[in-house]
Every structure is written in structure tokens, then in C-alpha cells.
Structure 1
Amino acid sequence: MDPTRTGRNMLAPFACRPEDSRGRHFPESYSTFRTAFQRDRDRIIHSSAFRRLKHKTQVFVEHEGDYYRTRLTHTIEVAQVARTIAGTLGLNTDLAEAVALAHDLGHPPFGHTGEDALAALMAPYGGFDHNAQALRIVTRLERHYADFDGLNLTWETLEGIAKHNGPVTGPHAQGAHSVPEGGTLPYALEEVNRDFDLELDTHASAEAQVAAVADDVAYNHHDLHDGLRSGLFTEEDLMDLPVTRPAFEAVDELYPGLEPMRRRHEALRRVFGVMVEDVIQVARQRLEAAQPRSVAEIRDMGTPVIRFSKPLYQDIKAVKAFLFKRMYRAPSVVKERKRVTAVIEDLFPLFMSDPAQLPPEWREDVASARDETALARIVLDYVSGMTDRFALAEHARLCGARA
């Protein structure tokens, strides 16, 4: 059986079909038992960068507790949500899953704190953007295959990584990774786009849009859970918020006197369900109104088709504002942010001034560096690929008493 045709008739007309893929940068023979998007997914799962997500964190530093989410557990949760939504809407679940699994590959150690530190250090050398870095990883830095660098993913998966949050350029550019008119693309994204035009001024496929919303669903849910577990706030604090208050009230009505941990779990799974059901309902309404007949029509709509309803989006904004104040900027978290920022700020200039400290396999790249900018980008690739624990260990080894 041709794997590219498995379930073909079950897909919506606006879904991405592997047999219609725009292909890979380096042509390959077809698999006899996996579609092109399934191969993308599997290559991402087997990559070194994916394994490193195990010891990269979201908010808390890796050593702080075994129950807090890491980038890996977060990514698995995003992929699960993406498959659920995509399957319900008749989209290609394999592509949605592949984009979801790859969306955080470019994150450095110490979460957004590490990203902020590296962005400042890289400002003279073209900046740093974790989304663009994910593309650099899957097109250049993974070096395991005999015929090419990177994972040689399909155009559709690369497009999804680049644009899952919306167009990067043009009149409809939006989101954290968009480039304002007259601005310059992150160099890592520019390099990939030069080799494989990703049409950065259009929206991505509906599958990639699903991956983006699944990311929001997952982190809003688990950051509430992790914040409660850490003691940064309590269930009573959540009774002042939309979405969470009705969820706890519903549990209390159904299960009066329920054990606190079960009560918390039951309430937050309802919050999770509200978000997923809202996305599905809104997507169905928007798709019914627009009646897209192809993936191209999805890309050219000028607005995302997968999104939260306006009322729920406002409620989620209130939850995010609460989390920002009580969790992301909690005194204990801010204190740790300063400590790990210092780790990055020590390691990066150290490798810049003495690149011989880099591992042997990196020195060939250093030898070919034409200028300081090229060297900085090699150092960035190395430092951003570190896990939390490895960055702390290297800092202790190389910086000694300052660690």
C-alpha cells in the first residue's frame, strides 16, 4: 500500500497532503511505509536537539524539582493537543505533530531568561530568535546523515516552524517572531529562506496554526499547575480569575470536600478542555464561513483560521497577566533569573575570546570563520544548544570561583 494515500479521503480539502508536498531541499526516494510528514516527525524525535529538551526548562531551572515541566514534557503535551485538534478538523495530524515537536528546538538553556541574555549578547552579530534557531538546527546543525546536514525536512514542516505564529513579513505580519516593515530577518531565518523560499508574507498551513494554538493551550494549563505546585500562588488566588474560577466551582459542586490534589487536577483539566473546545468550535465556524478549498486558500486568507474566540482570548490574557506577576516575576524566580543570566554572560564572551575551549568537533567550524560575526554565530550555536545542567557544569568548570 502506498503510505502517502493512507486516509487520503478522510482529509478536508484544505488539509496538507504528503503526496502534494513541495518536497525536500535534497531529493530523497519515497518510503514504502511512511508518508513524508511521518518521516519528518520521526526525524525530529530522533534528533539530538529533541533529546536535549529533556534538560531544558520552561520557567524553573532544571534542578529545582522533578515534577515541573521541561521543554520536552511541554513539547509532548503540545503535540498531543495538536493531534487532537487537527484530527477533529480533518487536518493532517502527522504534519501538525511534526511542527509541534519542532517548535521549541531552538530554545537555549534557562528558558526565556537564557533567550533574553543571548539576544543581548548577539545584538551586534545579527541577534537571536529561538524560532529562527530551530530552523538552523533542522537545516544545518544536526549532522548525522550521510547525504546532507540537518534533517532535510519537507517544505511544509519548515514553513510551519517559521510561520506557525503568523506571517513573518508583509502586511499581515504578527506575533512574537514577526519582522516590522523595514526590519531585517533574523540571520538564521534569512539563510533558510534564501535556500528554500518559505513565503514568509503568508500564513502557514492550518496544521501549523493548530500547533501554535496547541502551544498556548499547553503552557497556560501547565504553568498554572506548576505555579500551584511551587507554592507561588494558591487555588484561592485562582478564584479571582475567569476560566479558572468556574472550573473550581464546577468541581466543588460535583465533588464537595474532594482531596486538594484531586480538586486541583479536576479543575485544571476543565480549564484545558475549555480551551481546546473553544478552538475547535471557532475553527469550525471560520472554516464554514470561508469555505476554503485548498491549502493555498488557507495561506492567503490574511487572518488565522485557528484561534481562540474573542471572549476566551480576553480571559486567557487575564490569566497570563496573573502568571506574569505571580510566577514569571516572582522574587524567587527573578533571583534565579539573575543567577542564570550571569552564567550565559560569562560563558559567551569566554568562548569568543578563547574558542579553543570549544569541543574538538566545533573547532573546524571556528577555523573557517571569516570574521567576528561568524565566530559569534558558532559560539551561539554551541551555547544555545546547552542544557541547563550542562551550562551550569561548564560554568563551574571554566569560571571556577565565579561560579
Structure 2
Amino acid sequence: MGTYAERDRERWVREDPAHKRADRDDFARDRARLIHSASLRRLSAKTQVVQPGSDDFTRNRLTHSLEVAQIGREFGAALGCNADVVDTACLAHDLGHPPYGHNGEVALDAIARDIGGFEGNAQTLRILTRLDAKRFHPDGRPAGLNLTRASLDASSKYPWVRGESPTPTRKFGVYAADLPVFEWFRQGASAGDRCLEAEVMDWSDDVAYSVHDVEDAIASFRIDPRALHTAGDMTAVYEIARESYAPDLGTDVLEAALERLLATGTIPTAYAGTRADLAALKDMTSRLVGRFVLGVEQATRARHGAGPLTRYVANLVVPDEIRAECSVLKAVAAHFVMFADERVAVMGGQRDIVDHLVGCYLADPGRLDPDLQADFADASDDAGRLRVIVDQVASLTDGRATTLSRLWES
């Protein structure tokens, strides 16, 4: 599986070659299908860090995904990966996120605990191979966007079922009901191993949100950048970094990581929202993204040498120093924005909305979208029917979820 072999270009549904345009690569077609999908469009109204519409500057899930794709495409191409495969994986990586971001994910996981749980990455696979409408199997079963093996494998950030991860994590990438397509595109891969393109996508995501979330937080005055230059203000940040992002790294390593970042001179010491301040903030973003990507590219090349690196011939090498720097920035956004009092105050209400919507759909399945009404009718048991309702709620944008919950209040 070292190169893009013919079987890596096969699709879940074999398409008539006569219908293919001779001047268009299969992987480029995968990317086009993602760009034109309903699921990608919905990300424009789903929470990244703060709710969409609360600020004219901050990112939503769609703009975040586009930026991840831009980083991943160039990064992957520099390593020799097919740029379209990486681009497709980056565009797809957040499709499964429900309304209200990770908060909605927690609520749906609790609701679905008896049917295999809910995980945004497993939901992404379900969308790509079943829920988003593009192709059907000859027997009438939906085939989702009908992407190639390589694109599906690259989109699989956590290629295992719940509880079977190679290292301890609550993350997983496939529900039991979707194992047939998972096993199809994973043929020849070792259990738990990720292809290089998936690792490129994952690191591009880490780089994008670690840097961009801090940029957004400073630009929206949720973070005073002076706090990053004040040792006492960062104690809680190091704790979050160790608990959530880098449990194997000591506080001294994280402190040294922030010192290196500050020494670059890219992180502003003040911010008032002037055009010059905005330009300095953008310069910070560009330089930090370049620092994190180039450092990993050089480390990967140092281990694996020159020439194209694709699929399973190499693994991405992320040095601990760079991982520590990235983890500190993630923790900065988490501490000052995601765990801020004003954010925590609304999270309980958001989970209540998710619970309420599930109850409403259970009580009246006629409220389901027409495509999911058919899935509900075809489900053979209560577990299958609940999964359809979870699919429905997970598909909602933040705004639609809030509106429907208010409309259906008894």
C-alpha cells in the first residue's frame, strides 16, 4: 500500500467508466463531491469556538475546515502525498460535528450510550458513506458521496471502533453498523494504523485550531495578549494542556514551549483592534502556522528521507517541542474562551436543547427530514430508530436546533 494503487481508487459503488470524464482524476472528483455536499455547507452555521453569528471576525466550522484544507494541501504535497486526497480529508474532518460543537457531541453521546454512543469522527464516516446523497448501491442502499478508498482512509482520523484504540482515548471512528464500508477501505491496513494522509490532515487540524483560536480570541477581545506574557496567568493553562492535550509532557516542558513562542516576537503584547494590530495578529498566525508545519516536515524528512511519502510507507514525525508549543496554544483558547464563565453558562442550556429535540423526534417521527423518515421506517428495532434520530439532530445547525426547540416547546 505504498503508492496510490488502482484498488485505492476504487469506489464503494463501482461506477461505469463511460460516465467518467477522461480529463479528471478520481481524487479530484472526491474533492469536488465534498465541496458541493450539503454537510459541508451546514458547517457554516456550526460552532467552532464561539457560536456562529456572535462575531463578524471569528471562525465557524466551515471557515476552519477551509483553512485546514489549505494548510493540509500544501503540507501534504510537500511530502509527496496526493494533494486532492489530503484536501478531501481536511474538508471532511469535521462533517460529523453536531450543533454546539463538542458540547453537543457530549449530549448526543449520553443519549446514544446504549446503541454505541456518538462520536463526531464516526459520524463523519456515516455521512460520507451513507447519509449525504450522491450514489446508491444496486440494491437501493445509500452509498453517500461514494468516495475512493484512499480518500475515505485519509478521512479516518481514528480508524477503530469504540474501545479498540491502540492508545487510551475516548475517540473512535466507526459505529458497528458502518463496519462493512470501514473494512472495505481498510483492507490491507494494520489495525489502528493511520495512513500518512490522515496524519497530515490531523496535524493540519491541530495547527489550524491551535493558532486560529488564539487569533480569534484576541481579535474578539476574549483574551488580553498581555496574559500570555504574565507567568501567573498561565498556571491554569499548563494544567489544561497536560490534562487535555499532552499528558505525557511535564509542566516545565510546556513552560519552555511558551517561552520559545514568546521569544519569536510574533505574539503581541497588546491589542486595541486597530488595522496595525490586526496586521500584527495575522502575521503571528502566518508565522506560527509556518513554524509548526515546517518543523514537522523537516522531522519527517529527516527520518524517512527524500522522495514521495504516501499511504503506509511513512509516519508523520511531530517533535515533542513542537507538540508542546501547539498544546500550549490549544490550552490558551480552552482556558480563556471555551471554559470561560460566560461560555460555561450557556452550555447546560445547549445540552438541554439537544435532549429536547431527541425527545420531540421520538414522540413524532413525522418531524424528521424526508430522507431520514425513510431510514426511520426501514429501521428494524428501537436501537436503529434511535440512531436515525441521532443522525437527524447531529445534522442540525446551531440556529436550526435552537429554533426548532423553541417552536416545539410544549
TM-score category of the 2 structures, normalised to the smaller one: 0.7 to 0.9
Cross-structure match for 2:299 = 282
Tell me which of 171, 176, 183 is aligned to 1:187.
176
* Secondary structure at 1:99 match in 2: helix
CA distance in 2, matches of 1:366, 1:217: 39
Task: Write the deviation string for residues 325-379 of structure 1: whole angstroms up to 9, x where unpaired.
Answer: 2221011111122221111111112211221222344322222222211111010
Question: Whole-Å Cα distance in 2 between the matches of residues 115 and 293 of structure 1?
Answer: 34
Change (3 A) 1:165 1:238: farther
Q: Please state how far the C-alpha of 1:103 moved relative to its aligned partner.
A: 0.9
Please, what TM-score do these two structures have when normalized by structure 1? 0.83
Letter of the structure 2 residue corresponding to residue 89 of structure 1: L
CA shift for structure 1 position 20 = 5.5
Amino acid at match of 1:23: E
Moved more, 116-125 or 195-204: 195-204
Which residue of 2 is the match for residue 150 of structure 1?
144
CA shift at 1:194, angstroms? 4.8
Matches within 5 A, 1:2-401: 14=2, 16-17=3-4, 19=6, 21=8, 23-28=10-15, 29=17, 30-145=20-135, 149-162=143-156, 164-165=157-158, 172-173=166-167, 177-178=171-172, 186-194=175-183, 196-198=185-187, 199=189, 201-240=191-230, 241-248=258-265, 259-288=276-305, 295-298=311-314, 305-399=315-409
Q: CA deviation at 1:165?
A: 4.9
Using the size of structure 2 for normalisation, the TM-score is 0.82
Would the alpha carbon gap of residues 160 and 176 (structure 1) be closer, same or farther in structure 2, given more than 3 Å must change?
farther
Contact 1:243 1:271 in 2 (8 A): no
Contact 2:13 2:143 in 1 (8 A): no
Per-residue deviation, 1:174? 6.4
Does the 8 Å contact 1:166/1:174 carry over to 2? no
Alignment RMSD (CA, Å)? 2.8
Contact 2:9 2:148 in 1 (8 A): yes
Tell me the amino acid that sits aligned with residue 10 of structure 2: G
Q: Distance in 2 between matches of 1:32 and 1:151?
A: 20
Count of residue pairs the alignment pairs up: 370
Distance 2:305 2:399 in 1: 49
Unaligned runs of 5+ in 1: 1-12, 180-184, 299-304
Quote the sequence identity (%).
31
Question: 1:269 Cα deviation (Å)?
Answer: 2.2
CA contact (8 A) 2:210 2:330 kept: yes
State the 1:186 CA deviation.
Answer: 2.9
| Preserved contact between residue 167 and residue 204 of structure 1 (Cα < 8 Å) | no
Output one character per residue of 1:105-139: Cα deviation in whole Å (capped at 9) or x when no partner: 11111111111111111112210111111111111
SS in 2 for 1:105: coil
Structure 2 counterpart of 1:21, one-letter code: D
Change (3 A) 1:292 1:178: farther
CA contact (8 A) 2:129 2:146 kept: yes
User: Is this contact kept in 2: 1:57–1:388, CA < 8 A?
Assistant: yes
What letter matches 2:155 in structure 1? I
Which one-letter code corresponds to 1:337 in the other structure?
M
Indicate the SS of the match to 1:260. helix
1:173 deviation in Å?
A: 4.8
Question: Could you tell me which amino acid in structure 2 is paired with residue 379 of structure 1?
Answer: I
CA distance change for structure 1 residues 338 and 248 in 2, over 3 Å: closer, same or farther?
farther
Where does the alignment leave 5 or more consecutive residues of structure 2 unmatched?
A: 231-257
CA distance 1:334–1:191, change in 2 (3 Å) = farther
C-alpha contact (below 8 Å) 1:119/1:127 kept by paired residues: yes
2:80–2:310 CA contact under 8 A, matched in 1:
no
Decide whether the 8 Å contact of 2:153 with 2:185 is kept in 1. Answer: no
